[in-house]
């Protein structure tokens, strides 16, 4: 039983309400379990997503089936035409930040890590590791994210253990679309994301074509030409607010010391 299930079981068995938890980051008085008894938790007071039958962060949305991706592989070498953002050295390819390099790996710190370079259509490779034995709240278990153009988040999370809402699990387009399968390795093991990103197209402020993403998590296809419906947000329906087609690559710190290595981008 995970920490969230234990908390809820005790609360409901004693008739306790969850009032006051909304004041705690990541908690809400409306956090509930899925009706099917799977232990997935999320929200039922959020808006309905216009393109499907589910609500934002809906615990009743079908959870992706688990697939074993096999053992972690050595770091993938960067192609000769790639923009290398981190190869074990320093953070000179990134804007001023409070993150650090330790043993040739980036360790997430306060705030976000924002690339100096900006990208539109591109191929992205990065490798990440959630800390083993992390002592923190459920909403921060391996929590980080890859923000494409700084706007559209691909979630990083410990989805090996935690049964967070499907559109918030590892490799989800956050708040929008779960991955096709859950291939998350345990914390303490390296994971890889390979992302093919097509930026949105605008004519002035009018959206002509949404952003799209094809993605492999640990070598397994999890998104195929999937539309991104707007900028990432928590408990809201996404929408396109900024008519831009380039932006930085951003890693979103949430207070958990997730590690990164071998980050490169191929502009297309």
- Label the pairing between strands 259-267 and 122-129: antiparallel
pLDDT at 19 over 70: no
31 within a domain of the structure (yes/no): no
Instruction: Give me the pLDDT at residue 112, please.
Output: 97
What integer is the mean pLDDT of 67-79? 95
Amino acid 29: pLDDT = 45
Question: Is 251 a member of any domain?
Answer: yes
**Res 139: pLDDT:** 85
Structure confidence at residue 135 (pLDDT): 83
Is the pTM above the cut of 0.75? yes
What is the phi-psi region of residue 164: left when phi exceeds 0, alpha when psi lies from -120 to 50, beta otherwise?
Answer: beta
Which residues, including other chains, have CB under 8 Å from residue 185's CB and lie 6 or more apart? 69, 72, 160, 191, 218
pLDDT band at 25 (very low <50, low <70, confident <90, very high): very low
For residue 43, the number of C-alpha atoms closer than 13 Å in the C-beta half-sphere is 20
In a domain? residue 19: no
Q: Count the alpha carbons within 13 Å of 240 in the hemisphere toward its beta carbon.
A: 20
Count up the domains in the chain and report the number: 1
For residue 171, the model assigns a pLDDT of: 99
pLDDT digits (tens, 9 = 90+) for 197-249: 999 999 999 999 999 999 999 999 999 999 999 999 999 999 999 999 999 99
Residue 12: inside a domain: no
Establish if 150 belongs to a structural domain: yes
- Dihedral of alpha carbons 146, 76, 158, 136, sign: negative
- The domain containing residue 240 runs over which residues? 81-267
pLDDT in tens, 107-145: 999 999 999 999 999 999 999 999 998 888 888 899 999
Classify residue 21: in a domain, yes or no.
Answer: no
Report the Cα 114 to chain-centroid distance in Å: 16
- Encode pLDDT of 91-108 as tens digits: 999 999 999 999 999 999
DSSP state of 7: H
Residue 253 has pLDDT above 60, yes or no: yes
pLDDT, mean of residues 16-36: 55
| Cα–Cα distance for residue pair 36/55, rounded to 1 Å | 16
Contact 223, 180 (CB under 8 A): yes
Element (H, E) at 197: strand 191-198
Average pLDDT, the chain: 90
Decide if 102 is inside a domain.
Answer: yes
Using CA atoms, how far residue 5 sits from 15, 34, 37, in Å, is 15, 11, 11
- Provide the pLDDT confidence category of residue 38 given band limits of 50, 70 and 90: very high
Using an 8 Å Cβ cutoff, are 235 and 110 in contact? Answer: no
The predicted model gives 151-167 an average pLDDT of 97
Q: Which two tokens stand for residue 134?
A: 């992390």
* pLDDT value at residue 23: 33
CATH classification of the domain holding 123: 2.60.120.560
The dihedrals phi and psi of 199, each to the nearest 5 degrees, come to -70, 155
CB 134 within 8 A of CB 188: no
Q: What are phi and psi of 265, to 5 degrees?
A: -135, 135
Tokens 């929590």, located at residue: 143
Asked, for residue 6, whether it belongs to a domain, the answer is no
Smallest CA-to-CA distance from 141 within 158, 161, 159 is with 158
Model pLDDT, residue 255: 87
Look at 264 and 26; give whichever has higher pLDDT. 264
Residue 20 clears pLDDT 80, i.e. is over it: no
Please, which residues bridge with residue 196 across strands? Answer: 123, 214
* Side-chain half-sphere CA neighbours of 10 within 13 A: 6
Give the whole-angstrom CA distance, residue 16 versus residue 20: 11
């Amino acid at each position: 039983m995970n920490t969230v299930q234990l908390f809820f079981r005790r609360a409901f068995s004693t008739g306790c309400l969850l009032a006051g938890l909304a004041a705690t980051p990541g908690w809400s008085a409306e956090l509930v379990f899925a009706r099917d008894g799977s232990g997935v938790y999320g929200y039922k007071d959020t808006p309905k997503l216009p393109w499907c039958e589910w609500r934002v962060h809906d615990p009743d949305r079908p959870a992706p089936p688990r697939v074993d991706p096999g053992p972690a592989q050595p770091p993938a070498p960067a192609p000769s035409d790639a923009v290398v953002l981190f190869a074990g050295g320093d953070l000179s390819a990134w804007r001023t930040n409070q993150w650090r390099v330790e043993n040739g790996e980036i360790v997430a710190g306060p705030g976000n890590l924002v690339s100096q370079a900006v990208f539109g259509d591109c191929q992205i490779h990065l490798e990440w590791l959630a800390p083993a034995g992390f002592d923190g709240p459920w909403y921060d278990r391996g929590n980080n994210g890859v923000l494409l153009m700084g706007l559209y988040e691909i979630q990083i999370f410990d989805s090996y253990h935690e049964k967070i809402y499907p559109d918030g699990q590892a490799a989800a387009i956050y708040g929008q679309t779960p991955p096709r399968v859950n291939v998350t390795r345990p914390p303490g093991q390296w994971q890889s994301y390979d992302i093919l990103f097509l930026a949105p197209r605008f004519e002035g402020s009018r959206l002509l074509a949404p952003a799209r993403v094809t993605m492999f998590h640990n070598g397994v296809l999890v998104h195929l030409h999937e539309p991104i419906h707007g900028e990432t947000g928590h408990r809201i329906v996404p929408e396109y607010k900024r008519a831009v087609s380039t932006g930085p690559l951003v890693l979103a710190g949430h207070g958990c010391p997730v590690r990164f290595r071998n980050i490169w981008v191929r502009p297309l």
